[in-house]
Amino acid sequence: MARPHIESIDAYGVAPVVLGEGLFAGARSRLLSADDSDGSSTALVTCPAGWRGELGGSRAVELLLLTGAGSLGGRALRPGTWAWVPAGAVGGELVLAAESDVLVMVESERSAGGEVEVIDTVEAVFEEVSVATEVTGVPPGLSIKSLRVDAETRDRSWIAGAVPGWLGYRAEIHPTVEEALLLRGDCLLGNSGTMRAGDYFWRPGGIYHGPFATREGMLYFFRTKGGDLAVEWFDPPGWEKQARAYYDQTPFFAAGVGGA
């Protein structure tokens, strides 16, 4: 069965299970979504200090280190480091020197090929959405750090960041699957409510979603699957009132609040 629509869940609210075998044997795994038909999955994995394992088997693995420290193929990992390990890749030894939380995305089986990629997303440069993806119509204030575009499938991975007070007035729909973990801040989604740091969704293609608003700013890790990202926009009625009510839940100017 293909992965179900998940919108959204607290990743840390999922009960962990100690893995007895497989890629991350000995670690605690919170399974966030899975596809029974092709074996692909996304999990929040907590590895103990000193854990090590060899990636690069029959399935490609995508990683985002959330907490902790370690190395991949001898290259240093720190919080915010993203990595792609293709199936059959050489140099896929993962070593975690400290207890670490890792977002782990295991792909369906594909032919082997390619090299290990490691990117420190903190040091990566933000770009305008239209420049990085050719998607137009996104309000100013939202930028992305492109991490990967699969040459064959056109699947994408990126970091998206929005400034405090950012407001997107439009909802959207697209044919690609969309998957995300909110890393920092807050986000009101017009279709499903508020997301906070640690919340995760898996959204199949063809699902109407948005608009979006953030009070404190937001930083997301995103993936799309199933072809090039193409967006159709909608202007839902009543969104301005809903967004304003969300903003008014906290002071516009917070200095001195609660102080003498």
Band of pLDDT at residue 113, cut at 50, 70 and 90: confident
CA nearest 121: which of 48, 222, 225? 222
Domain residue spans of the chain: 6-120, 127-247
What pLDDT does 198 receive? 98
- CA 119 to chain CA centroid, nearest Å: 14
Under CATH, domain 127-247 is a member of which superfamily?
A: Jelly Rolls (2.60.120.10)
| Domain 6-120, CATH homologous superfamily name and number | Jelly Rolls (2.60.120.10)
What pTM was computed for the model? 0.95
Give the pLDDT band (50/70/90) at residue 257: low
Task: Evaluate if residue 1 carries a pLDDT over 70.
Answer: no
Does the pLDDT of residue 133 top 90, yes or no?
A: no
Collapse the DSSP code of 108 into the 3-class scheme (helix H, G, I; strand E, B; otherwise coil) and give the result: strand
Burial of 83 (0-12, 13-18, 19+ CB in 10 A): buried
The model's pLDDT over 27-52, given as tens digits with 9 standing for 90+, comes to 999 999 999 999 999 999 999 999 99
> Average pLDDT over the chain, rounded to whole?
93
Give the residue-averaged pLDDT of 119-136: 90
